[in-house]
Homo-oligomer: A and B are copies of this chain.
Amino acid sequence: MSDKAKPIVKARAISGFPEYTPEIRRAELRWIDTIRTVFERHGYVNIETPSVEEVETLAAKGGDVDKEIYGLQRLNAEGEDKGARLALHFDLTVPTARYVAQHFNELTFPFKRYQIQRVWRGERPQEGRFREFLQCDVDVIDQDGISHDFDAEIALIAMQALNAIGAGPIRFMLNNRKILIGFYEGLGIGNAADVIRVVDKIDKLPVTEIERILVEENGLSADTAKACLALAQIRSTDNSFAAEARKLGVENALFEEGLAELETVMDRLNAANKGECVVEANLAIARGLDYYTGVVYEARLIDYPEYSTICAGGRYANLVGAYIKRDLPGVGISIGLTRLFAKLVKEGVITGERASPTDVLIARFPENDVLELDALANQLRDRGVNVEVYHEAAKLKNQFRYAERKDIPYLWFAGDPHEVKDLGAGEQAHADPASWLPDRLKD
């Protein structure tokens, strides 16, 4: 039965497809559990969609993404595959849109869902870009109209999730597209979208260069260009952004509406913030111009300011490619879990957890009855303790070494009385199988 005669295929990592040791995976799993818990604390329900959609469905989003899509083709397919062409989804928004349309009559609106799934993009891998990665999306979708209350709710959920995973200081930035559009309208700028695209480079190009482009290429007057740049440079962790923006002297109803909406969101975030997130109104943030219509969110790691966005979202007037003859507006946000997690692993911030979930190893010697050890183990397991029974009667030394290598905190000696050794503290004491708990499970 040995495979030694077989040619050896080299086992190696595939670029862009992250994989971790058990220690690191346990840390990732804890993050996923934490995020999921926060989403459920706010009453959002989990859905999952298949990993694939029909190519036609994915293409309904628009043309510029299709080069990144992985299509599926059966190896050794005889002739053409019949039926729909399938491809791996490249985000969770398109599958959700298809899901909502398909299950429309089975859902209650406003439909609050979260989705934690892998997505795939056939891009060239580079720092922060993966070919397979985990996204954590939380969205609320309603019919025809949707309460502005959700502008704050979605931001609150994301902020609490980011705080709860303990990824370190994160700048959680907010803006409102109405502020930008209204301000530009008030300045008499016709091609607002073009101007926003230029101003959006404010973190990448010098201000003078952006000003030059606005004047020379977008045809703005010098004063107008200066006003646009002044707005884009406003940042505040409280509501002073609004007064600063108003000082620029533009009068426009949409602009005022946007400021008021953002003030409410900032108030609610700041009141609830208990963690390392820095909440910042940032009037440069634009996000997807054709999609978002109100509040927009964008979060970055403060310690790695050059690193790409790790969380983004906003309010949209209609779920992308909605497949249904009515508007489905919503507010949503996506945490790029792989992007965030992989960076902190790479930087050595996340070093992993114990290599095993085991709380206690039950030692095994020739005199032990395995049925009794099983019963003991199951008695402990019923109270939530993770237990291994050593897999053979062996020398104490070997069992110690096994516990040590797997970082198992306790070693149990069955007997009358039972004894448990705390391997960290080095102390051994009597233990009652009916009540003993490891530190992890004590209140």
Contact = CB atoms under 8 A, between A and B. Distances in A.
B132 A45 contact: no
A18 B50 contact: yes
6 contacts: A3-B318, A9-B57, A15-B83, A20-B48, A25-B45, A40-B386
Contact of A56 (B9, B42, B147, B375): B9
Interface of A: 1-4, 6-15, 17-22, 25-26, 28-29, 40-57, 60, 66-77, 83-84, 86-88, 98-99, 101-103, 106-108, 110, 112-113, 118, 120, 122, 132, 147, 149-150, 152-153, 156, 267-268, 271-272, 290-291, 293, 316-318, 320-325, 327, 355-358, 361, 370-371, 374-375, 378, 381, 384-389, 391-392, 402, 405-406, 408
Contacts of A293: 1
Contact of A387 (B12, B20, B42, B77): B42
Contacts of A75: 55, 66-67, 69-71, 87
B52 A370 contact: no
A272 B66 contact: no
Given A72-B70, A267-B371, A387-B41, A327 B14 contact: no
A389 B49 CA distance: 27
Contacts of A28: 48
Nearest to A364: B149
A27 B73 CA distance: 32
Contacts of A389: 153
Copies in the complex: 2
A15 B84 CA distance: 10
Closest 6 CB pairs of A and B: A43-B358, A17-B50, A43-B388, A11-B101, A1-B317, A11-B102
Contacts of A54: 14
Contacts of A73: 70-73
A271 B6 contact: no
Given A75-B66, A391-B150, A11 B375 contact: no
A88 B71 CA distance: 11
A121 to B, nearest CB: 9
Given A12-B102, A40-B386, A110 B74 contact: no
A304 to B, nearest CB: 25
A293 B9 CA distance: 24
Given A108-B405, A271-B371, A49 B1 contact: no
B132 A51 contact: yes
Contact of A392 (B8, B84, B149, B267): B149
A72 B322 CA distance: 27
Nearest to A12: B102
A238 B323 CA distance: 58
Contacts of A9: 56-57, 60, 98, 321, 323
A156 B293 CA distance: 55
Nearest to A21: B106
B22 A47 contact: yes
Given A12-B102, A88-B72, A386 B22 contact: no
A128 to B, nearest CB: 18
A46 B20 CA distance: 11
A52 B122 contact: no
Nearest to A98: B11
Given A74-B70, A374-B156, A118 B51 contact: yes
A16 to B, nearest CB: 9
Residue among A45, A375, A392 facing the most chain B CB atoms (10 A cut-off): A45
Contacts of A322: 3
A22 B4 contact: no
Nearest to A401: B108
Contacts of A402: 108
A41 B386 contact: yes
A57 B388 contact: no
Contacts of A47: 20, 22, 25
Contact of A272 (B49, B118, B378): B378
Contact of A3 (B51, B118, B320, B384): B320
Contact of A19 (B12, B15, B48, B88): B48
Nearest to A56: B9
B66 A3 contact: no
